[in-house]
Structure 1
Amino acid sequence: VGTPQSADELVLSFPENDQYFITPEVSEDDRYLVVHITEGTDPATRLWVYPITSDGLGEPVKVVDHFADEIAFVRMSGEDLVLRTDRDAPRGRVVLASLDGTFTDLVPEGPDTLQAVRGTASGPATLTLVDAQPVLTLYAPDGSDARVVDAPGGGVVGLDASPEYDELFVGLSTATDPTLSYVVSASTGDVRALPELVRGSGGFASPPITVERRLEPGREVPYFVISRADLDYSSPRPTLLYGYGGFRIPILADYRPGWPAWLAAGGVLVIANLRGGGEYGSDWHQAGRLKNKQNVFDDFIAVAEHLRDTGVTTPAQLAIHGRSNGGLLVGAAMTQRPDLFAVALPGVGVMDMLRFHLFTVGAAWASDFGHPGDLEQFEDLLAYSPLHRLCDGTSYPATLVVTGDHDDRVVPLHSHKFIAALQHAQSASVPVLTRIEVNTGHGFGKPAAMIASEWADLLAFAAHHVGLVPPEQ
Structure 2
Amino acid sequence: IFYHKLGTDPADDPKIYGEGCAKELSLGTSLSEDGRYMLLHVSHGWRSTDLYFRDETDPAGPAGRFRPIVEGIDAHFGGRIIGETLYALTNYQASRYRVVGIDLQNPAPANWQTLIPEADDLTIEDVAFAKGHIIVSGLKHAVAHLYVYDLHGKLQREIHLPTIGSVTGLAADLESDDFFFVFESFLIPPAIYRCSVSKDAPAQPQPEVILASAQAVDPNLVSIAQVFYPSKDGTQIPMFILKRRDLSVSDGTPHPTVLIGYGGFNVGKTPTYMPAIVPWIESGGIYASANLRGGNEYGEDWHRAGMQGNKQNVFDDFIAAGEYLISKGYTDHDHLGIWGRSNGGLLVGATLTQRPDLAKAVACGVPLLDMVRYHKFLIAYLWCSEYGNPEDPEAFKWLYAYSPYHHVHEDVSYPAIYTYTAESDTRVDPLHAKKMTALLQHVASIKAAKGPILLQVEADAGHGVGKPLHKIVAEQANMWAFLAWQLGLS
Which TM-score band (shorter chain)?
A: over 0.9
Map 1:57-456 onto structure 2 (within 5 A). Answer: 57=62, 58-76=64-82, 78-99=83-104, 100-101=106-107, 102-111=111-120, 112-152=122-162, 153-187=164-198, 188=201, 190-194=205-209, 197-200=211-214, 208-217=221-230, 218-234=234-250, 235-426=253-444, 427-456=448-477
Following superposition, the deviation at residue 256 of structure 1 comes to 2.5
1:48 aligns with 2:64: no
CA distance in 1, matches of 2:468, 2:167: 22
Q: Tell me, what secondary structure is at the counterpart of 1:194?
A: strand
Following superposition, the deviation at residue 157 of structure 1 comes to 4.1
**What one-letter code is carried by the residue in structure 1 that aligns with 2:170?**
L
Following superposition, the deviation at residue 327 of structure 1 comes to 0.5
CA distance in 1, matches of 2:176, 2:435: 53
Q: Tell me, what secondary structure is at the counterpart of 2:34?
A: coil
Mapped contact 1:351–1:415 kept (Cα < 8 A): yes
Unaligned runs of at least 5 residues, structure 2: 1-5
1:2 aligns with 2:7: yes
**Would the alpha carbon gap of residues 147 and 431 (structure 1) be closer, same or farther in structure 2, given more than 3 Å must change?**
same
Following superposition, the deviation at residue 219 of structure 1 comes to 3.4
1:466 aligns with 2:487: yes
**What one-letter code is carried by the residue in structure 2 that aligns with 1:319?**
G
CA distance in 1, matches of 2:101, 2:207: 31
Mapped contact 1:117–1:125 kept (Cα < 8 A): yes
CA distance in 1, matches of 2:463, 2:173: 32
TM-score, normalized by length of structure 1? 0.95
CA distance in 2, matches of 1:393, 1:305: 24
Following superposition, the deviation at residue 42 of structure 1 comes to 2.2
CA distance in 1, matches of 2:126, 2:235: 28
Following superposition, the deviation at residue 379 of structure 1 comes to 1.4
CA distance in 1, matches of 2:274, 2:28: 29
Q: Tell me, what secondary structure is at the counterpart of 1:326?
A: helix
Render the CA deviation track for 1:150-194: whole Å, top value 9, x for unaligned: 023412342222222211112111112221331111222633432
Following superposition, the deviation at residue 28 of structure 1 comes to 1.3
Mapped contact 1:175–1:260 kept (Cα < 8 A): no
CA distance in 1, matches of 2:267, 2:178: 27
Q: Tell me, what secondary structure is at the counterpart of 1:465?
A: helix
**Would the alpha carbon gap of residues 18 and 339 (structure 1) be closer, same or farther in structure 2, given more than 3 Å must change?**
same
Render the CA deviation track for 1:4-58: whole Å, top value 9, x for unaligned: 122111100142511111111111121111000012x223010000111164253
Mapped contact 1:106–1:143 kept (Cα < 8 A): yes
**What one-letter code is carried by the residue in structure 1 that aligns with 2:118?**
E
Following superposition, the deviation at residue 284 of structure 1 comes to 0.6
Mapped contact 2:100–2:115 kept (Cα < 8 A): yes
**Would the alpha carbon gap of residues 347 and 207 (structure 1) be closer, same or farther in structure 2, given more than 3 Å must change?**
farther
Mean Cα deviation higher: 278-287 or 47-56: 47-56
Following superposition, the deviation at residue 110 of structure 1 comes to 0.6
Following superposition, the deviation at residue 230 of structure 1 comes to 3.0
RMSD over aligned CA atoms reads 1.7
Following superposition, the deviation at residue 351 of structure 1 comes to 0.7
Following superposition, the deviation at residue 387 of structure 1 comes to 0.9
Mean Cα deviation higher: 183-192 or 21-30: 183-192
Q: Tell me, what secondary structure is at the counterpart of 2:86?
A: strand
Which of 22, 34, 52 is residue 17 of structure 1 equivalent to?
22
- Identity percentage of aligned residues: 37
**What one-letter code is carried by the residue in structure 2 that aligns with 1:139?**
Y
Render the CA deviation track for 1:329-380: whole Å, top value 9, x for unaligned: 0000011001010110111111110111111210111111100101111111
CA distance in 2, matches of 1:338, 1:268: 21
Following superposition, the deviation at residue 243 of structure 1 comes to 0.3
**What one-letter code is carried by the residue in structure 2 that aligns with 1:440?**
A
Could you say which residue in structure 2 is the equivalent of 1:27?
A: 32
Mapped contact 1:75–1:163 kept (Cα < 8 A): no
Mapped contact 1:210–1:229 kept (Cα < 8 A): yes
Q: Tell me, what secondary structure is at the counterpart of 1:135?
A: strand
Following superposition, the deviation at residue 321 of structure 1 comes to 0.6
CA distance in 1, matches of 2:205, 2:219: 28
TM-score, normalized by length of structure 2? 0.91
CA distance in 2, matches of 1:15, 1:390: 42
Render the CA deviation track for 1:397-420: whole Å, top value 9, x for unaligned: 111001111100011111111111
Mean Cα deviation higher: 17-26 or 209-218: 209-218
Following superposition, the deviation at residue 425 of structure 1 comes to 1.6
Following superposition, the deviation at residue 103 of structure 1 comes to 1.6
Following superposition, the deviation at residue 65 of structure 1 comes to 1.6
Following superposition, the deviation at residue 466 of structure 1 comes to 0.8
Following superposition, the deviation at residue 74 of structure 1 comes to 2.9
Runs of 4+ in 1 over 4 A off after TM superposition: 203-207
**What one-letter code is carried by the residue in structure 2 that aligns with 1:403?**
T
Following superposition, the deviation at residue 455 of structure 1 comes to 0.6
CA distance in 2, matches of 1:30, 1:347: 43
Following superposition, the deviation at residue 264 of structure 1 comes to 2.0
Unaligned runs of at least 5 residues, structure 1: none
